[in-house]
Amino acid sequence: MDGLFGLKTMAFEPVGFKGKKILITGATGLVARPLVRAYAENATVYAMARYGRAEDRHAIEGLGAIPIAVDLAHQESLAAVPEDIDYVINCAVSRSGNFDMDFRANADGVGFLMARCRKARAFLHISSTAVYEYRGHAPRKESDPLGDNHRAMFATYSISKIAGERVCMFAARQFGIPTTIARLCVPYGEHGGWPYFHLMMMRNGAPIEVHPERPNYYNLLHVEDCIEKIPRLLAAATPEVTLTNFAGSPRVSIEEWCGYMGELTGLQPHYVDNPSAFGSLCTDLTRMRELVGDTRVDWHGGIRGMIAALAPELLARGTSRSPA
Ligand SMILES: NC(=O)c1ccc[n+]([C@@H]2O[C@H](COP(=O)([O-])OP(=O)(O)OC[C@H]3O[C@@H](n4cnc5c(N)ncnc54)[C@H](OP(=O)(O)O)[C@@H]3O)[C@@H](O)[C@H]2O)c1
């Protein structure tokens, strides 16, 4: 943020969740479930998903949240959403591969959700750095060209996320809802994430496909940083829409995190070049730092904690005495 005389102002203070009504969509998913757990401690959390599996509903109830069954691809099901929600954190995503279904859920659904929650104090739409065009090792800025980045593996993903951002921008202005769009890059933590998939490939001796333009840089974002930054991202919301990358710093490559997991576990990654694999997607974090400050979790400790939580038996086989 530029303040008076071009001076940089302080990052936003977090909004207070205590006693508030928070709607978290995609509540059973990788990104949202730890948020539900964290925020339900002092707020009333409504946890939206379709809940096709009964065990998901029980798990969410066990976290102290109120499950609400909604299919964002079906407008009428939004009647289940209370109209007096204070803050919305929209983490739902449909990855069916069916264009009509995924556009309905990821784009149209954002508009219907915002119309329903138009009285909210702030709305956070979780997007993805997958909206950027491939540009090798260059860190991507919010103003950089968009593209169909993940097409080779997830045909509908990038373009439906781009469409979702535009619907979100329209609805924020149309209904005057203070809104932030945050483009996530590789969320992970003690519940999993992309590095955990890589670890499982290493354990099973499966090849890890990487883009030949190595190393493949990203910015890992630990769940603890997500939990800490989201109330600040909500504080930064405006009806003109605050758009920011949302990622951990510094950049780290697939090759580095797999190499480190190898040190910790004694397992070896086997890379196979594939020009269709996702290439580097590291991000310029200038805007994020101005808005919400730097992230705190060191990726070595984050990766080690992930393995300790999900596959502790593998740690005993490694040689590294790295930071916890
Ligand atoms: N995972 C990553 O590496 C990553 C990277 C960058 C950005 N992101 C972004 O982070 C957000 C969360 O992603 P995630 O990886 O946590 O997703 P996920 O694990 O696949 O979870 C998706 C969630 O959305 C719900 N959902 C799916 N279709 C729905 C529909 N039609 N209506 C209502 N709810 C629906 C699912 O529950 P039900 O199936 O029960 O409905 C589930 O709770 C997304 O915006 C994604 O684009 C993720």
The whole-model pTM stands at: 0.96
Ligand 1 pocket (Cβ < 6 Å) reads 26-32, 49-52, 56, 70-73, 91-95, 105, 126, 128, 161, 184, 186-187, 194
What confidence score (pLDDT) does residue 317 get?
77
- Confirm if 323 and 304 have CB atoms less than 8 A apart: yes
| Distance, CA of 118 to CA of 91 (rounded, Å) | 17
Cα 23 to middle of ligand 1, angstroms: 14
What confidence score (pLDDT) does residue 126 get?
98
- Confirm if 114 and 177 have CB atoms less than 8 A apart: yes
Pocket test for ligand 1, best of 24, 31, 70, 116 (most atoms within 8 A of CB): 31
Query: Is the domain of 148 the same as that of 209?
Result: no
Q: What is the CA radius of gyration of the chain?
A: 19
Query: Is the domain of 38 the same as that of 72?
Result: yes
Q: Which tokens in the block code for residue 143? A: 């103003």
- 9 pLDDT tier (thresholds 50, 70, 90): low
Query: What's the DSSP call for residue 75?
Result: G
CATH at 69: 3.40.50.720
Query: Is the domain of 139 the same as that of 210?
Result: no
- Confirm if 121 and 178 have CB atoms less than 8 A apart: yes
Query: Is the domain of 148 the same as that of 196?
Result: no
Query: pLDDT tens-digit profile of 215-267?
Result: 999 999 999 999 999 999 999 999 999 999 999 989 999 999 999 999 999 99
What confidence score (pLDDT) does residue 277 get?
94
Query: Is the domain of 101 the same as that of 159?
Result: yes
Whether residue 49 is contained in a domain is answered as: yes
Q: Which tokens in the block code for residue 267? A: 């397992």
pLDDT exceeds cutoff 80 at 39 = yes
Query: Is the domain of 254 the same as that of 242?
Result: no
CATH at 304: 3.90.25.10
Question: Which ranges of the chain does DSSP label H, i.e. alpha helix?
Answer: 32-39, 54-62, 99-103, 109-116, 157-175, 194-204, 223-235, 254-265, 286-292, 299-310, 312-315
CA 57 to chain centre: 21
| Distance, CA of 169 to CA of 171 (rounded, Å) | 6
Mean pLDDT of 159-184: 98
Which range of residues forms the domain containing residue 76? Answer: 4-187+223-246
Cα 110 to middle of ligand 1, angstroms: 13
Query: Is the domain of 148 the same as that of 255?
Result: no
Please report which helix (H) or strand (E) contains residue 244, including its range. strand 242-246
Residue 84 φ then ψ, to 5°: -110, 35
Query: Is the domain of 143 the same as that of 166?
Result: yes
- 323 pLDDT tier (thresholds 50, 70, 90): very low
Whether residue 194 is contained in a domain is answered as: yes
| Distance, CA of 91 to CA of 124 (rounded, Å) | 9
Quote the number of domains for the chain. Answer: 2
Query: Is the domain of 72 the same as that of 159?
Result: yes
Q: Cβ–Cβ contacts within 10 Å for residue 232, how many? A: 18
- pLDDT over 70 for what percent of the chain? 95
Whether residue 87 is contained in a domain is answered as: yes
pLDDT exceeds cutoff 70 at 25 = yes
| Distance, CA of 272 to CA of 209 (rounded, Å) | 5
Query: pLDDT tens-digit profile of 295-309?
Result: 999 999 999 999 999
What confidence score (pLDDT) does residue 149 get?
94
pLDDT exceeds cutoff 50 at 33 = yes
Query: pLDDT tens-digit profile of 64-110?
Result: 999 999 999 999 999 999 999 999 999 999 999 999 999 999 999 99
Cα 93 to middle of ligand 1, angstroms: 4
Query: Is the domain of 71 the same as that of 50?
Result: yes
Query: Is the domain of 238 the same as that of 198?
Result: no
- Confirm if 4 and 27 have CB atoms less than 8 A apart: no
- pLDDT over 90 for what percent of the chain? 93
**DSSP string covering 37-55:** HHHTTTSEEEEEE---SHH
- 318 pLDDT tier (thresholds 50, 70, 90): confident
